Structure 1
Amino acid sequence: MTLKKTAAQMVADARARITEIETPDAIAMLEDPSVQFVDLRDPRERERSGFIPGSFHCPRGMLEFWVDPDSPYFKEVFAQQDKKFVFHCASGWRSAISVATLQDMGFDAAHLKEGFGAWEKAGGPVEKPAPKADKS
């Protein structure tokens, strides 16, 4: 099968038209109350590697529905007009495509260029999830 556009091309196209934030700049933004980090990773990724403190978790598959105020799945966190939203995934691919989609919807956002992996490597703070209760 020949695709009209590869995933890599979709990421490159998205990156050409969105705001990308370098890891050191994002780490510096962590204490800024006007910035809301949004984690697009799968719940298992968050459990395994931890997350950026204060980040809001929005699984990638629900993004458009949680952002759209006309959707029955809308989340109030996205109604905050005074916030700068910075989305991230593990390596910056999903978040680049996501932010391009949000931009098409009219929602202003940026993304962490190299994702959570680069955040961790740069020494950015990481919060670990609370251990699950033993159900035995």
Structure 2
Amino acid sequence: MLAEAEEVVISVEGDDMAARYRDADIVMVDIRDPRELEREGMIPGAFHAPRGMLEFWIDAESPYHKPRFAEDRTFVFYCASGWRSLLAARVAQEMGLKARSLRGGFGEWKKAGRPVAEVNRGG
């Protein structure tokens, strides 16, 4: 399944995204579980879209649609290691988005000392 997704999804390197993650034409999409965000933080300015809701949020016909996904931008999906986000990017691409996957995920992003925003859900 991952090999098939790798054949059709462009994966971007953390070094490239570190220079571009705040660009107006890029939307970083964190698909991790809320507990992961609270524990590890997230890329500053990223949009959180839990993996379990992704298709509903992208589908313009869904009552759960999020207008952010109707924007003409490039969506760079990431998870902890890059596996879930690779599959998510494939689905998003099949649904018509310009989708990419962050190679190595948030784990590599954080390990490299790139910017991280704390997440506090007030619990």
- TM-score class, shorter: over 0.9
Please say if residues 43 and 116 of structure 2, whose CA atoms lie closer than 8 Å, have aligned partners that are also in contact: yes
Structure number with larger C-alpha Rg: 1
Equivalent-residue separation in structure 1 for 2:119 and 2:112 (angstroms): 20
Q: What is the match of residue 108 of structure 1?
A: 98
Equivalent-residue separation in structure 1 for 2:109 and 2:84 (angstroms): 16
Counterparts of residues 1-136 of structure 1 (less than 5 Å): 10-81=1-72, 83-130=73-120, 132=122
Q: Secondary structure at the match of 2:11?
A: strand
Counterparts in 2 of 1:121 and 1:74: CA distance versus 1, 3 Å: same
Query: When the two structures are superposed, what TM-score results if normalisation uses the length of structure 2?
Result: 0.94
List 4+ stretches of structure 1 deviating above 6 A. none
Query: How many pairs were matched up?
Result: 123
Equivalent-residue separation in structure 1 for 2:4 and 2:107 (angstroms): 22
Paired AA for residue 71 in structure 2: Q
| Structure 1 unaligned regions, length at least 5 | 1-9
Q: Secondary structure at the match of 1:102?
A: helix
Paired AA for residue 92 in structure 1: G
Equivalent-residue separation in structure 1 for 2:56 and 2:22 (angstroms): 28
Counterparts in 2 of 1:64 and 1:131: CA distance versus 1, 3 Å: closer
Q: What is the match of residue 4 of structure 1?
A: none
Q: Secondary structure at the match of 1:31?
A: coil
Pairwise CA RMSD of aligned residues?
1.2
| Structure 2 unaligned regions, length at least 5 | none
Q: Secondary structure at the match of 1:109?
A: strand
Query: When the two structures are superposed, what TM-score results if normalisation uses the length of structure 1?
Result: 0.86
